[in-house]
Structure 1
Amino acid sequence: MDIRIGYLQWIPDQGPVLSNVIPEPEDAGLRGAELAVEDNNTTGNFLDHRYLLESRVVASEAQAQEAVAWMMAEGIELFVLRVPASTLNLMADQTAGKALIVNAGAKDDALRLRECRPHVIHTQPSYAMLTDGLAQWLNLRRWKNVFMITGPTDSDRAWADAFRRSATRFGLRIVADKPWTFDADLRRTASQELPLFTQADDYDAVVVADVRGDFGEYVPFNTWLPRPVVGTQGMSPVAWHRVIESWGAAQLQSRFRELAGRDMTGDDYAAWAGIRSLGTAITQLNVTDVEQIRGFLFSDDFQLAAFKGRKLSYRSWNGQLRQPIPLVHPRGLVFTAPAEGFLHPETDLDSLGFDEAESDCRIHP
């Protein structure tokens, strides 16, 4: 039995970055999908299942829609997408009633709160899941007064909005909330500008919302007070990172490096988890019917072994993959949320991100 999975990637050009941050690999996501297909075939060989990946990396939203239309015409009904939220919604309309989509790219909370689609599931953690993990850790450490800096992009503002909610939820106080409005070259001026910018009476940590890295790399060690930096720079909540090695992850990291010649990113992991989820369902059901696969993913029988120390499952109300959130710095794992003590009546993984009562979505009975 052949199982064809479509992978599509479109990342809009964000313009020049103002710092010398290391750019995201251009094949981030795609390589994770390729590894997952290899893993699926390792299991599938015993059942006469053959997984085939049809992948496209395109340069525009129009090309993305054309690629999905072509794949559907070729009979592909299972998709993993790394595209912006607006494009994801267009493709959800394009495939409604005909396919199952895994969102392995967009972190936007609206996709889990209001804009949910019955045939779309999410392996990429939402902004709220990431910032809740960070806020739990700050609460645990009793670093409750924070200074926040927000960059100018839509992604920066979305990350910052999620953190403001997390701060309220977990008892943190934002003592200063400043937008970053400078366009100076911080490679020359960081030591002069940042100490003045971060002046305040007192704070326990600096929280940075700079998703693409315009200025955040220069905040550590340049703050007015000698305080740790967390958020999108410093210590960061992520879906995945090369420093994760427990629970068998070292073996996953090694196989990925052999395939891609680089370290696995969070986007790679989200694509990998999506295709492994589909493979897990197909192995159990021995069918490729989209509705049966979807039903199994939401059932109590589904558990994804995903190298995070827990068996992962999908939230029935919005299709989000429950998962622990690692908190890392570039060379080490600091903590894995959820923190002990943040309880939930169903599972402590639902203490990360918007809970069922907070979401308007009800995509599965």
Structure 2
Amino acid sequence: MAVLRVDRPGLPPISRLDLPPADLGFAGARLGVADDDTTGRFLGQDFEAAEITATPESAAADLDGAIAAGAGLVILLADDATTLALADHAGDRALILNARARGDALRGADCRANVIHVAPSHAMLADALAQFLVLKRWTRWFLVRGSHREDGALADAYLHAAAKFGATIVEQRLFEDTGGARRTDTGHVQVQAQLPVFTQRAPDHDMMIAADEAGIFADYLPYQTWDARPVAGSAGLVPRSWHPAMEAWGASQFQDRFERLAHRPMREEDYQAWLAVRMVGEAATRTRDADPARLRALMLSPGFEVAGFKGQKLTIRDWDHQLRQPILLTTGALMTSVSPQDGFLHQVTALDTLGVDRPETTCAF
């Protein structure tokens, strides 16, 4: 295997606590390899994952190099556009396991047969939050969306989730990214002054939903709004694939093992890379083979499942190659709930209430 992380230059995060560690994603994959080897040694199997850091400009060449070195399975940590471009570039030479990109288009009109999506989609995250808010009867939402393309895609997922579960968007507002130094005194004071005025005169609402995939403004929203309302989405109550405070279903021991290895808490990219490596290991154990075509066939079969410390086995949707998984609803320090919520039923599995279901998909492999 190879783990290919494509780092795109950009502004640092709003909080220095969110600065990405140098081994982001790679540390999760290392734990996955160790876990695979625990089982593999009894079957004469040995797992390896090359670690490659690339730029958008070098990514295609780096992917070629990994494939030439024998990696027929590539765990990819990249944005939507780069993931699509590299999937097309790889073609039938490699199976791509998407461990970062969340765009619904990658699971829809732009889906590719050589990609399995380990990272949850925007639709899954939005639906997970929507179920919880509807269950609480907090159904009037004031949606604030950022001005970047990925913000619009996330906002569209919240619009769809509201319609799907019976919430009402009372108003949408666009927060324009004007650039600047967000973490200097000047930048901080500017945002403090902007947000109360920006959010005033909104219709009556229960929740403010922030769609800020680019990480420009959402973290400033709590306690800076004009009306005293809770914030959710990209700040406040946040839907995630993983959280370092997770302790249920054996996760405490899992967290401890990761922290001993990496000397830091596990982040979502680490979990998603670990899960991708474990999916490969599970498939290799069952087939006793390393052929990517056979591993792909097993992973996409109805009988394949993998454990993810989320209380139930995780499986792959055959219509868009998305890994089904519960979504954690989290605050900064704690896990508040887990979706799908009780009472949201489905004829196959409650996990398919999160994200795009078979009758809705626009994916055609």
Letter of the aligned partner of 1:76 in structure 2? A
1:111 is the counterpart of 2:86: no
Match of 2:302 in 1: 300
The structural deviation recorded for 1:19 is 6.2
Selected match of 2:235 from 230, 233, 248? 233
Selected match of 1:35 from 18, 31, 36? 31
Match of 1:86 in 2: 81
RMSD of Structure 2 on Structure 1 (CA): 1.7
Q: Deviations over 1:91-150 (max 9, x none)?
A: 222222222110101111001011111121010000110001011111111101111111
Match of 1:349 in 2: 351
The structural deviation recorded for 1:89 is 2.1
Letter of the aligned partner of 2:149 in structure 1? D
Measured in 2, the distance between the counterparts of 1:194 and 1:74 equals: 51
1:52 is the counterpart of 2:45: no
Measured in 2, the distance between the counterparts of 1:141 and 1:299 equals: 37
Deviates more, 1:32-41 or 1:81-90: 81-90
1:13 is the counterpart of 2:15: no
Letter of the aligned partner of 1:106 in structure 2? A
Q: Which runs of 5+ in 2 are unaligned?
A: 181-185
| SS across alignment from 1:322 | coil
Q: State the number of aligned residues.
A: 358
Letter of the aligned partner of 1:155 in structure 2? E
Measured in 2, the distance between the counterparts of 1:252 and 1:360 equals: 36
* Alignment check: 8 A CA contact 2:104 2:121 kept: yes
Match of 2:275 in 1: 273
1:196 is the counterpart of 2:191: no
The structural deviation recorded for 1:17 is 5.0
What is the correspondence of 1:117-132 to structure 2 with a 5 Å cutoff?
117-132=112-127
What is the correspondence of 1:100-179 to structure 2 with a 5 Å cutoff?
100-179=95-174
Structure-2-length-normalised TM-score:
0.93
The structural deviation recorded for 1:13 is 1.2
Measured in 2, the distance between the counterparts of 1:20 and 1:74 equals: 37
Measured in 1, the distance between the counterparts of 2:84 and 2:193 equals: 44
CA 1:156–1:25: 2 relative to 1, 3 Å? farther
* Alignment check: 8 A CA contact 2:28 2:269 kept: yes
Letter of the aligned partner of 1:81 in structure 2? L
Letter of the aligned partner of 1:168 in structure 2? A
* Alignment check: 8 A CA contact 2:243 2:267 kept: yes
Measured in 2, the distance between the counterparts of 1:339 and 1:353 equals: 14
Match of 1:319 in 2: 321
The structural deviation recorded for 1:191 is 4.8
- Identity among equivalent positions (%) equals 39
| SS across alignment from 2:37 | helix
The structural deviation recorded for 1:260 is 1.0
The structural deviation recorded for 1:78 is 1.0
Measured in 2, the distance between the counterparts of 1:327 and 1:217 equals: 16
Q: Which runs of 5+ in 1 are unaligned?
A: none
Deviates more, 1:180-189 or 1:28-37: 180-189
Aligned structure 1 segments of 4 or more residues deviating by more than 6 angstroms? none
Structure-1-length-normalised TM-score:
0.93
Measured in 2, the distance between the counterparts of 1:148 and 1:26 equals: 34
Measured in 2, the distance between the counterparts of 1:362 and 1:297 equals: 19
The structural deviation recorded for 1:361 is 2.0
Q: Deviations over 1:311-342 (max 9, x none)?
A: 00000011100000000001111110011111
Letter of the aligned partner of 2:36 in structure 1? N
Measured in 2, the distance between the counterparts of 1:83 and 1:182 equals: 22
Selected match of 1:209 from 211, 217, 232? 211
The structural deviation recorded for 1:16 is 5.0
Q: Deviations over 1:258-282 (max 9, x none)?
A: 1111111111111111110010010
Deviates more, 1:338-347 or 1:186-195: 186-195
Deviates more, 1:139-148 or 1:207-216: 207-216
The structural deviation recorded for 1:11 is 2.2
